[in-house]
Amino acid sequence: MSDISRVLISAEELDRITTRVAAEIDRDYKDVEGRIVLVCVLKGSIVFMGDLMKKLTVPVEIECVRISSYGSGTTSGGRINLLLDVDRADIGECNLIVVEDIIDSGLTLTFLVKHLIDKGAKSVRTVTLLDKPSRRKVDFKTDYVGKEIPDEFVIGYGLDYDERYRELPYVGILDPSVYS
């Protein structure tokens, strides 16, 4: 616990957030035509997506994408590479919901949404657990937001620092002594 300066979002609050977001998605997708496919942005979104999908009542399928953006430590870089893509022949029938852990500059989701539209998806929306609106470099608005947070580097509930802390059941603020 000493690496964590404080708990920002408790396990109980995360449970309330995923319940609310799932209800919003249910409401919007209950009459949609075609398949509904959650797209997990590996690896950080694994925990959020697992909790979210269990609370949905609309039938969903899942896919995963993996992206590397070159940067180091606690800053995300600007150059984006797609390491794992959605590969389905029926993409034109798929209503994709991209599930992201956190939006910072907005570059990752801007790139990914354009990429999936270009591939011919029937529709593309995005959901993020966390949003740091003060950090945007590009104007990107997500369709569903768990919680807006201040400009602090957070870990836990899937989010890592140097591949650590993903297993924590809460979202915490990493003590700057860990990375400075």
Q: Which residues, in sequence order, are bridge partners of residue 40?
A: 64, 99
Q: Are 116 and 94 in contact (CB under 8 A)?
A: no
Residues counted in the chain:
180
Q: Is 158 in the site for Mg ion (CB under 5 A)?
A: no
SS3 content of the chain, % helix, strand, coil (to 5): 30, 35, 35
What residue is closest to Mg ion based on CB?
44
Q: How far is the CB of 75 from Mg ion (least distance, A)?
A: 13
Q: Is 85 designated active site?
A: no
**Taking a C-beta distance cutoff of 8 angstroms, is the pair 101, 130 a contact?**
yes
The site string for ligand 5GP over 133-172 (x = CB under 6 A, - otherwise) reads --------------------xxx---xxx-----------
Q: Which of 3, 87, 90, 104 is catalytic?
A: 104
**Least separation in angstroms between CB 75 and ligand 5GP:** 8
Nearer to ligand 5GP, 121 or 154 (CB): 154
Write the interaction track for ligand 5GP spanning residues 5-44; mark x where CB under 6 A is met and - where it is not: ---------------------------------------x
Q: Is position 107 an interface residue for ligand 5GP (rule: CB under 6 A)?
A: yes
Dihedral sign for Cα 7, 21, 45, 134, please: negative
CB neighbour class for 108 (10 Å; exposed up to 12, middle 13-18, buried from 19): buried
First to last CA, the chain: 18
Residues 6+ apart with CB under 8 A from 152: 8, 173
The residue from 44, 106, 156, 158 that contacts Mg ion (CB under 5 A) is 44
Nearest approach, Cβ of 45 to Mg ion (angstroms)? 6
Query: Which residues contact ligand 5GP (rule: CB under 6 A)?
Result: 44, 69, 76, 100-108, 153-155, 159-161
Question: What positions carry a catalytic annotation?
Answer: 104
Query: Which residues contact Mg ion (rule: CB under 5 A)?
Result: 44, 101
